Chain A
Amino acid sequence: MQGILLAIVLVLLIVGAVALTLSGTLWLSPLASNWGMIDNMLVITLVVTGLAFVVLNLVLAYLVWRYRARDGQKATYFAEDHKLERNLILITALGIIVMLGPGLFVYSEYIHPPREAMTVEVLAQQWRWSFRYPGADGQLGRTDPKLFAQNAFGIDVTDPAAQDDVLVTGPLHLPLNKPVVIQLRSKDVLHSFYVPEFRAKMDAVPGMVTRLWFTPTKMGTFDLLCVELCGTAHFQMRSKVIVESPKDFERWLQQQPTVAQTIKR
């Protein structure tokens, strides 16, 4: 009775899990960056592990049903089979190589931004995001956390490269189809930069600079979320990302005030 019930429940769990996955109701949000490779890796991993999930649980259900105690049922002594063990290990290793091999290649790409990428700085603090663009010279001015006492970005205003930097409190504007390196700094505690549609993610750590890169491939407005617990209003630490045509982006950027215009020396 318990055996049959358990077998049925296990099969129902498999069916439910597969149905929920295939229905697509809880699937990745539509991709809006170059990281289709990450999605591919997710799908490969899902197929390999999904197969293992279904097979192993089906075997479990079968065993529970087939060998449940009944009158006259006897166990067969069977304690070792090295060949079987070896083969199972080989199959498992193969599955792992299929996931890990290509995964590491994609990761290698993920940590090597293309040379032509533009850099935008994202500054995190409790509980908001602000942004800095390098301006006409293509270079971000020098910063030092000790200078947070003087201005909101901790910018060294004596640095010539800082003069044309553009400071924005949000949303974050990005040009379509141009690779961008997001350079992350934090003023106070840990935060993390995440736009579900871009897939990429990186923590902002006070005292150091971290980076991630992607190429926006879809126009539109996206939610920027903080995904490292950063205190009481963590869940409200959000901003928007607007991806627009390079022309619109340039026009927008021209209209923003520079450091020289906003911060007195």
Chain B
Amino acid sequence: MAHAVSHPTQEHHHEPTSFWSRYIFSQDHKVIAIQYMITALIVGFVGLFLSWLMRLQLGFPGEFNFINPNNYLQFMTQHGMIMIVYLLTAALLGGFGNYLIPLMIGARDMAFPFLNMLSYWTYLASVLLLLAAFFVPGGPTGAGWTLYPPQSVLPNASPGSEWGIRLMILSLAVFVAAGTMGGLNYVTTVLQMRTRGMTLMRMPLTVWGIFIASVLALFAFPALFVGGVMLLLDNLFGTSFFIPVVNLLGKQLGREGGNPILYQHLFWYFGHPEVYIVILPAMGVISDLLATHARKPIFGYKAMVISMAAIAAIGFVVWAHHMFVSGMNPYFGFWFAIATLIIAIPSAVKTYNWLLTLWKGNLHLNTPMLFAIGFISTFIIGGLTGLFLGNVIVDVPLHDTYFVTGHFHLVMGVSAIFGIFGGLYHWFPKAVGRMYSEALGKLHFWVTFVGSYLIFFPMLGEGFLGVPRRYFSFRGIESFPDIINDLNAFITVVALIVGAAQLIFVFNLVWSVFKGRKAEANPWRATTLEWQTPTTPPPHGNWGEQLPVVYRGAYDYSLPDAPQDYVPQTVPPSEKARVRV
């Protein structure tokens, strides 16, 4: 616990000896992190496979008879929910958060190790509930990942509107519990367990990103929980929180007084911060990758921290830009457009500072660095397209078209997953003690980076044409030129290739765990604490007898009068030269 600082011995950290307590019901943050990451990646592959099924239908309509309008919507809904919540959120907070926070701030473990273990097993339960929906009568919900009522909960109003939606809400509620346990842990650990000398403004940006995202999660998830509970009641017990008087399929339902727009406010009060819960840790990760592999301090560290905090704070008052044409009070449009476009400023600051970090650097373009640079590029296009959708009147023609699909995939799908890939390659040597294959890593990057542009950039153009998203087929719509059929086939082919290329990534990591070259303790010659552990991978309790002491900021690369191009955080000011390798 917090006494770890005052009791530098390992009295609280008896190393577990049995297989079960070491690898399965482990309370070691590093093991829990790997459990989180592997589970998230596996469920992510389910999400990827579902996107293939969607793309097969869109690219070659009618060729694959097992895909029908019903299960198309189910694939789509599950794909969205899996990728955003169960892959990205879980991998970035549960995976990187768990592994890196204690190591980067010089703690022996999380503040609450038992709660941490419970968080993972709760998350696993939520994943099982999610996947169970594929095996219940009616299948999983097909109401879109937003689960908008009335269609999501009224009988037969959408696919999976009985058992599917119930399992979905239950799974989300369990996930919220897991996320809350994790979030409390990350926030407490960062605030309480930093080692001597590790001031807040000396923390690596990865820790800042995860810390701020955890605070966001603690404030945002309850809105999802509340919305979910009422949704479930509307479904199970015929209540009317979100259901007004309706006549469904020729039958008057006897509901009264609910308002579907109320749900949308609750959902997006969670849903928009959720975007930042995903992207802020990724921003932190790639900041560290850029500085390390460019051999330069991050440009404008303070501005980077302030802009992350600003994005998080303003991020709580922009949610209704998802609802510009929902029928809410039209005057809301003014405020939510202004607030949304203001967020562009801190986001732009981050982009400029990444570019300025590269300027006059010495760029080692290995796999993690390639993904970090790829992140900058996809974040630029993804962020800029957000300016269309945030500016209320420009949103009107583009709303619910493929422009939106292209935008959010680039900014929070591709960019966030690039943060994950970059981070995984970067910290793999520390976590496993072996190097991955650079050649395979680069191949993985090139196919994924170029492929992502080829998939999602044309979607922006389809959106300009007005092509609606969430359509099973576009047959019979005369407004659209024939080129969209060829384009959709093209996108599908690229998506199949990019999806298959992810097997290179899996093969690379699995193979390297067993056969990779032995890694040095600090192969990237990095400054931050996680590279200064006594062994690689770090031991239980992380630091051996003595906790590290921090004397400097996280980015002392290429100091003018230092003999080496990096000075670890543990080196006292007078001893720039003496570097532990």
Contacts and interface: CB of A to CB of B under 8 A. Distances in A.
Interface of A: 2-3, 6, 9-10, 13, 16-17, 20-21, 25-29, 37-38, 41-42, 45-46, 48-49, 52-53, 56-57, 59-60, 63-64, 67-69, 73-81, 84-85, 88-89, 92-93, 96, 99-100, 103-104, 106-107, 110-111, 125-126, 145-146, 148-149, 154, 184, 187-190, 192, 194, 196-197, 199-208, 210, 222-223, 225-235, 238
Interface string B73-103: 1000000000000000000000000000000
Given A206-B260, A232-B158, 11 more contacts: A26-B465, A45-B388, A67-B362, A96-B341, A107-B334, A188-B154, A200-B396, A203-B326, A227-B399, A229-B151, A234-B471
Contact of B365 (A3, A74, A96, A208): A3
Interface stretch (B203-211, B428-436, B455-463, B497-505): B455-463
A19 to B, nearest CB: 11
A154 B517 CA distance: 74
Nearest to B146: A229
Give the 5 A-B CB pairs with smallest separation, nearest first. Answer: A207-B244, A26-B461, A196-B466, A148-B247, A2-B365
Interface string B234-263: 000000000011111100100000111100
Contacts of B380: 52-53, 56-57, 60
Contacts of A207: 244-246, 258-260
Contact of A99 (B299, B325, B391, B473): B391
A16 B453 CA distance: 10
B345 A99 contact: no
A29 B484 CA distance: 13
B489 to A, nearest CB: 15
A227 B247 contact: no
Residue with the highest number of chain A CB atoms closer than 10 Å, among B327, B351, B399, B461: B327
Contacts of B471: 234-235
Nearest to B557: A75
A190 B466 CA distance: 19
Contacts of B391: 41, 45, 99-100, 103
Max chain B C-beta neighbours (<10 A), residue from A46, A75, A78, A227: A75
21 contacts: A10-B377, A27-B464, A37-B393, A52-B384, A60-B355, A64-B365, A67-B359, A81-B356, A96-B344, A103-B337, A104-B392, A188-B157, A205-B261, A205-B326, A207-B244, A208-B244, A208-B327, A223-B478, A225-B468, A229-B73, A232-B158
Contact of B476 (A78, A226, A238): A238
B17 interface: no
Nearest to B560: A77
B442 interface: yes
B461 A100 contact: no
A256 to B, nearest CB: 23
A41 B465 contact: no
A225 B300 CA distance: 48
B70 interface: yes
